[in-house]
Amino acid sequence: MPATVPTPRSVAPLLEVEDLHVEFDTPDGPVEAVTGVGLTVGAQETVAVVGESGSGKTVTALAVLQLLDGGRISRGRVLWDGTDLTGLDRRALRRIRGNEIAMIFQDPMTSLDPLYSVGHQIVEALRLHSRMSKRAARERAVELLARVGMPDPRRRLDSYPHQLSGGQRQRVMIAIALACSPRLLIADEPTTALDVTVEAQILELLRELQAEYRTAMLLVTHDMGVVAETADRVIVFYAGQVVEHGPAADVLRDPQHPYTAALLEAVPGRETDRAEPLAAIPGAVPPPRAMPPGCRFHTRCAMAWDECARDEPQLYPLSGARAARCLRHRSGTAVPVATGKGA
């Protein structure tokens, strides 16, 4: 079985994903979008999942709550406090979704129902998982909107999503997600399409609320800067697989997979010469039906050997609770892989 990304011993695991395989039906037959993924999230821990679009980050997050549209888990387990969510019926899953595990979706404009006021949608989440009266739930909704920094929260309760700015809609999504004080918050690209000022506000708000509610967080992002500011641990995805994981500070300082190093080299620094083009990873993530043999990254890797096109690497354990899916680590030894300026 592929290795599961470990939770530090001092942190009790809440979520454990083991050997996860997710496939989707296509006109040409099923294709596998996620292959053998394993990860854990501990109580009050922030784990960031990073990688380019198409790497399997969001599919893995959606698989935790069985929200795969047109897809299915073909193999593996998703353990929540020891209970395998893949074996639960829809009614049992509904008791967990939004109550114990909540999710902030990538695009609030499409995730919020345009036919209902934001107050109605918060009240619905509260009443679904509690015995609150409608009046009590409405008052709680006002409190939640105030807590997430919504101006004039009582008036905004009757607003519809199209009447709010992007940042305000994201605050509504956070209020809905935190309505029932979940133990785990899955945040899928929570700052996508927001300007940098609003992005910073939303990230700071998430950090404050996570500490206040004592909530663990699985943060899906492509932004290594967000990882540096937010995460305890980082899991790097490429082409449906975990290619590196470890404590965030260690991975950012000393990446052990060429893909992680390339991602970091593509982050613009303050000292970047504006006349010099930004570093970029050549090519694109291969589609699920056309994975190359051997290492899935070798066609884009500046450090590839001939055997990288032939031998499929495993997730090799390294010291310091780290691991990397690169043939250079078959002996379990860390080697330098950064080839540029780094982050």
The structure's pTM equals: 0.89
Q: Is 259 exposed, middle or buried (0-12, 13-18, 19+ CB in 10 A)?
A: buried
Question: Mind listing the pLDDT tens digit of every residue in the chain (343 residues)?
Answer: 455 666 555 556 899 999 999 999 988 889 999 999 999 999 999 999 999 999 999 999 999 999 998 899 999 999 999 999 999 999 999 999 989 999 998 877 788 999 999 999 999 999 988 889 999 999 999 999 999 999 999 999 999 999 999 889 999 999 999 999 999 999 998 877 677 888 888 888 888 889 988 999 999 998 888 898 899 999 999 999 999 999 999 999 999 999 999 999 888 765 555 566 778 899 999 999 999 999 999 999 999 999 999 999 999 999 989 999 999 998 877 777 764 443 3
What domains appear along the chain, each with residue ranges and CATH number?
13-100+182-329 (3.40.50.300)
Alpha helices in the chain (DSSP H): 57-64, 90-96, 108-111, 118-128, 134-147, 153-156, 166-178, 196-213, 224-230, 248-253, 258-265
Residue given tokens 């905004």 in the structure block: 156
